[in-house]
Each structure stands twice: as C-alpha cells, then as structure tokens.
Amino acid sequence: MTGHLRDQLADYLTLRRSLGYRLERPEKLLRQFLGHLEDRGEPILTVDSALAWAQLPADASVNWWAYRLCVVRVSIWRSESHPFWTLSATGYWV
C-alpha cells in the first residue's frame, strides 16, 4: 500500500546522502513509520498520522517523541512535490 511512499523515501534518502548525511537511524525510523501507516491502512501521510506515530510508545520521554517527530519532517519536504504526502491542517503545524 505504501510502495509509492517507500519510493519517495528512497529518493529523499538519496538526496540527503548526496549532501553528506548518513541518516542511519532516521532511515530506520522512517521505515517504521511507513510500516505504521500500512498497519493502520492509511494510504497517505497526514499530520495526524505523523503525530500519532511520533508519540509512541506512550510511556516514552517527550525528548524521544520530539526526535521521532523531527524524523518525519520529510513530509514537509515531500508535500511540496508529491500528492501522496499531504499535510492536513489540524492546528498542530501552522
């Protein structure tokens, strides 16, 4: 279901790595995030889905949640150029 998102992730990682970033942990987390979308049956990325995933596990520190949310910032970059990456306005990122 998220094959198109995985293709876009590969493009994103290629671009960032060409700029010198290693992105080992972010890649792992982004792949987990796409798995989360698949598990929930969500074909597109939304702010709500990013926030729900970032706040897992529920008993983690807020620093961990913030790091996970920073990792999914790729949605902002991709939303400019690809229709599957959408930022639905929910009052979180304005």
Predicted pLDDT of residue 82: 55
Look up the pTM and report it: 0.76
- Give residue for tokens 């306005």: 89
For residue 51, report the phi and psi dihedrals to the nearest 5 degrees.
-65, -40
Q: Would you state the structure tokens that stand for residue 90, as one six-digit string?
A: 């929910």
Say if residue 71's pLDDT is above 80.
yes
More confident residue, 92 or 23: 23
Predicted pLDDT of residue 50: 87
Rg (CA), the chain: 13
Cα–Cα–Cα angle for 8, 2, 16, rounded to 5 degrees: 25
Predicted pLDDT of residue 6: 86
- Model confidence at 55, in pLDDT bands (50, 70, 90)? very high
Taking only the tens place, the pLDDT of each residue in 11-27 is 888 988 999 999 999 99
Helix boundaries (H) for 1-94: 3-18, 24-40, 47-54, 62-71, 74-79
Q: Would you state the structure tokens that stand for residue 77, as one six-digit string?
A: 């970059």
- Model confidence at 2, in pLDDT bands (50, 70, 90)? low
Contact 54, 65 (CB under 8 A): yes
Predicted pLDDT of residue 22: 92
